[in-house]
């Protein structure tokens, strides 16, 4: 479990960090409210522990700001014993509980445990799967009554897996949950800790309980008999997570799947009919090349769709038929006999009076929390291109319950008219399609300036090395084998979107100031201008930056820029658009604010900029000058470029 500690007292921070770490919590500690805000935006925490009296942004304001942005993480406030006003204000701001100074460490640990239990809706904090038991209160792990001697990281790994049964964690997600922000592990560290935990579980009797999903990550996957013995405590600890999905969701999923099976019975029968025509033509020796080609395509599609209905045997049969028909040479007598036998086997499978669809072959995965992703993707749109309408319907059924809005098209030539309409966040392509193959389509997209960075996942019924190399050579980001398995596809989609979000964040943010860079802030401003009646563009300048770099060194210049960036983030936390444009130049866009109102609103930030004191490497303390100018939209200009030019031409007002 990961905790964010926001406390400016270094001694208290050290005491709290030590106490929480001894209980196997992962602790990120920061010393001011603004840093607390930034950490909470960048990392997922299970609990936030913060003081009320913080520099740069007080704890109550930070709590209110987090709640206003939809943050549901439990928050525990630290308040002064005599100040009931802070406690009331903190609870009103959204805090879940409070502690008063001086702190009692045992009470602190008890309240932390209570909030973590409340956050996971668990009435019983003990996690049990089969003979394995983990008690977070005592940090004890036992298997079949015998204690397991785990390292802190191994304990944290096991607890994370138990709290999220059957969920697949990538290495990056494990790092996010189990390592502090300022102490990331080496590349092989995660693998080493997982290996150590796996070996200790194996030695105790829990053999192969941690599964490595190739290309995705790790998950806890105990044997069926052990999973069936999972106590209600474990299930309650992770509502809606893989393996504990509500029966209603799974029943609805299977019911919808049965409806699709009935809907596409005619299409499946048509494909089987093509195979039956081939079987009838072979003894007479009149199998035409066109019928052979059409039948191979029908077998390929049957192989992809039958497995999605958990008819894995049908997939194997159809794939065998496809391979035989794709043989470039005339069919031998043995090959003909094998093909006819497989067609008859497929007839028997599909001619059953009633197809009984079994339950899900694998547990339903967690509904992903798209809150953070939504900041980059206002709606998670996925475009799926596959020439099989039955497959498209089934894929959309799989994606919709997890907050993904899929759009399916079975004509690949329509993609260029669809792309601008739905603005997808991710594209799923079938490899083999008529008219235009997925490979050719991917290649064209990678050469298109607007769509060349669009994440692309391929679906393929062929997992041979040549096909895989081909799709990656034309720019694929990932691939999934048909028949598609629900947890694997969803995990790959989520991981790809998270990676895209990270790349976009790095590309749009200035690393020194933490503010949107020139490209990103310009894009936001240009998108807002047509929607507004008035906007004020404020240009701030740091005229001494070059001299500071020359005389004090670039490290000191960086210190000044970082301080300015923090001040702008603290003072403009609403609908204002802020950015750093380089060379000591900052911009602020104030929507629905004329020039006179803008001057009034700048008072506090100008005072804060003047009051800043910086320290040079030799210990000398100094202050810096600031300049600013305002241009009003649409009076001074109707484009961002004309507004910026107007602000500069109006002249700067030194403060």
C-alpha–C-alpha distance, residues 156 and 20, integer Å:
13
* Residue 254 neighbours by CB under 8 Å, 6+ apart: 357, 359, 360
**Pairing outcome for strands 426-430 and 381-385:** parallel
Average pLDDT estimate for 15-42: 87
Question: What is the b/e burial string over 406-444, where b = at least 16 CB atoms within 10 angstroms of the residue's CB?
Answer: bebbbebeebeeebeeeebbbbbbbbbbeeebbbebbee
User: What is the pLDDT at residue 215?
Assistant: 58
Instruction: Give domain 127-238's CATH number out of 1.20.120.420, 3.10.180.10, 1.10.10.10, 2.160.10.10.
Output: 1.10.10.10
User: Per residue in 447-489, pLDDT tens?
Assistant: 998 898 899 999 887 767 788 888 888 988 888 888 777 667 8
- Fold category of 250-350 in CATH: 1.20.120
User: What is the pLDDT at residue 404?
Assistant: 80
Domain with CATH 1.20.120 in the chain: 250-350
User: Per residue in 312-351, pLDDT tens?
Assistant: 788 889 989 988 998 888 888 899 999 999 999 998 888 7
Average pLDDT estimate for 190-209: 88
User: Per residue in 85-118, pLDDT tens?
Assistant: 777 888 878 888 888 888 888 888 888 887 887 6
- State the CB neighbour count (10 A cutoff) for residue 191: 15
Spell out where 335-472 has E strands.
Answer: 381-385, 405-409, 426-430, 456-460
Q: Tell me the CA distances in angstroms from 96 to 25, 73, 75, 236, 429, one per residue in order.
A: 19, 9, 5, 20, 46
CATH code of 2-120, in short, is 3.40.50.2300
Domain with CATH 3.30.70.270 in the chain: 518-654
**29 or 164, which is more confident:** 29
User: Per residue in 255-282, pLDDT tens?
Assistant: 667 777 778 888 888 999 999 999 999 8
- pLDDT of residue 245 exceeding 80, the answer is no
- pLDDT of residue 137 exceeding 90, the answer is no
C-alpha–C-alpha distance, residues 487 and 494, integer Å:
11
Average pLDDT estimate for 201-215: 82
Residue 394 near residue 308, CB atoms below 8 Å? yes
Domain with CATH 1.10.10.10 in the chain: 127-238
Domain spanning 371-508: CATH superfamily: Response regulator (3.40.50.2300)
Place of tokens 């394995």: 132
Give the pLDDT band of residue 504 (cuts 50, 70, 90): low
Domain spanning 518-654: CATH superfamily: Reverse transcriptase/Diguanylate cyclase domain (3.30.70.270)
User: What is the pLDDT at residue 81?
Assistant: 57
Domain with CATH 3.40.50.2300 in the chain: 2-120, 371-508
* Paired strand residues for 127: 134
* Residue 489 neighbours by CB under 8 Å, 6+ apart: 398, 480
C-alpha–C-alpha distance, residues 281 and 295, integer Å:
12
Concatenated DSSP letters of 336-376: HHHHHHHHHHHHHHHTSSS----S-SSPPPPPP--HHHHHH
User: Per residue in 279-298, pLDDT tens?
Assistant: 999 888 888 989 998 999 88
Residue 426 near residue 497, CB atoms below 8 Å? yes
3-class DSSP state of 142:
strand
Average pLDDT estimate for 190-219: 84
User: What is the pLDDT at residue 644?
Assistant: 92
């Amino acid at each position: 479990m990961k905790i964010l500690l926001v406390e400016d007292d270094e001694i208290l921070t050290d005491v709290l960090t030590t106490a929480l770490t001894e209980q196997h919590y992962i602790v990120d500690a920061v010393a001011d409210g603004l840093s607390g805000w930034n950490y909470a935006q960048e990392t997922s925490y299970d609990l936030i522990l913060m003081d009320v009296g913080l520099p740069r942004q007080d704890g109550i304001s930070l709590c209110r700001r987090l709640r206003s942005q939809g943050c549901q993480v439990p928050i525990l406030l630290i308040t002064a014993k005599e100040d009931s006003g802070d406690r009331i204000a903190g609870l009103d701001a959204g805090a879940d509980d409070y502690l008063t100074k001086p702190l009692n460490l045992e009470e602190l640990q008890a309240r932390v445990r209570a909030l973590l239990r409340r956050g996971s809706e668990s009435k019983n904090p003990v996690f049990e799967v089969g003979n394995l038991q983990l008690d977070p209160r005592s940090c004890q792990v036992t298997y079949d009554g015998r204690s397991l001697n785990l390292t802190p990281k191994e304990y944290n790994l096991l607890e994370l897996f138990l709290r999220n049964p059957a969920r697949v964690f990538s290495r990056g997600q494990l790092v996010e949950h189990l390592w502090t922000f300022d102490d990331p592990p080496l590349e092989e560290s995660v693998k080493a800790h997982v290996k150590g935990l796996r070996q200790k579980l194996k030695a105790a009797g829990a053999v192969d309980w941690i599964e490595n999903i190739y290309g995705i990550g790790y998950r806890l996957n105990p044997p069926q008999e052990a999973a069936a013995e999972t106590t209600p405590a474990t299930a309650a600890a992770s509502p809606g997570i893989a393996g504990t999905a509500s029966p209603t969701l799974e029943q609805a999923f299977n019911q919808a799947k049965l409806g699709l099976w009935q809907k596409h019975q005619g299409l499946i029968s048509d494909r089987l009919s093509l195979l039956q025509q081939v079987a009838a033509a072979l003894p007479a020796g009149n199998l035409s090349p066109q019928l052979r080609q059409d039948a191979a395509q029908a077998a390929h599609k049957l192989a992809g769709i039958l497995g999605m209905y958990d008819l894995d045997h049908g997939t194997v049969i159809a794939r065998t038929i496809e391979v035989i028909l794709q043989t470039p040479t005339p069919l031998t007598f043995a090959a003909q006999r094998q093909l006819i036998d497989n067609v008859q086997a497929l007839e028997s499978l599909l001619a059953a009076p009633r197809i009984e669809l079994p339950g899900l072959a694998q547990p339903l995965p967690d509904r992903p929390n798209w809150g953070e992703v939504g900041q980059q993707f206002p709606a998670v749109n996925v475009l799926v291109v596959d020439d099989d309408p039955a497959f498209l319907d089934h894929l959309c059924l799989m994606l919709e319950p997890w907050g993904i809005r899929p759009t399916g098209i079975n004509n690949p030539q329509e993609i260029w008219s669809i792309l601008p309409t739905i603005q997808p966040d991710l594209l799923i392509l079938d490899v083999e399609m008529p008219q235009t193959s997925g490979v050719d389509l991917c290649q064209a997209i990678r050469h298109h300036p607007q769509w060349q960075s669009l994440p692309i996942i391929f679906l393929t019924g062929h997992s041979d090395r040549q096909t895989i190399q081909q799709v990656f050579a034309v720019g694929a980001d990932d691939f999934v084998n048909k028949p598609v398995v629900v947890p694997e596809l969803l995990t790959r989609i989520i991981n790809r979107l998270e990676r895209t979000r990270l790349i976009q964040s790095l590309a749009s943010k200035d690393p020194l100031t933490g503010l949107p860079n020139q490209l990103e802030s310009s894009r936001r401003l240009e998108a807002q201008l047509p929607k507004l009646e008035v906007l004020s563009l404020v240009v701030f300048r740091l005229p001494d930056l070059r001299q500071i770099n020359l005389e004090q060194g670039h490290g000191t210049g960086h210190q000044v820029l970082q301080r300015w960036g923090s001040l702008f983030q603290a003072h403009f936390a609403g609908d204002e658009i802020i950015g750093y444009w380089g060379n000591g130049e900052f911009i602020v866009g104030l929507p629905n604010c004329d020039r006179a109102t803008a001057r009034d609103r700048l008072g506090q930030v100008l005072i804060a900029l003047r009051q800043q004191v910086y320290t040079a490497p030799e210990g000398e303390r100094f202050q810096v000058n600031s300049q600013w100018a305002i241009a009003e939209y649409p009076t001074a200009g109707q484009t961002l470029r004309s507004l910026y030019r107007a602000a500069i031409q109006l002249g700067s007002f030194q403060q």
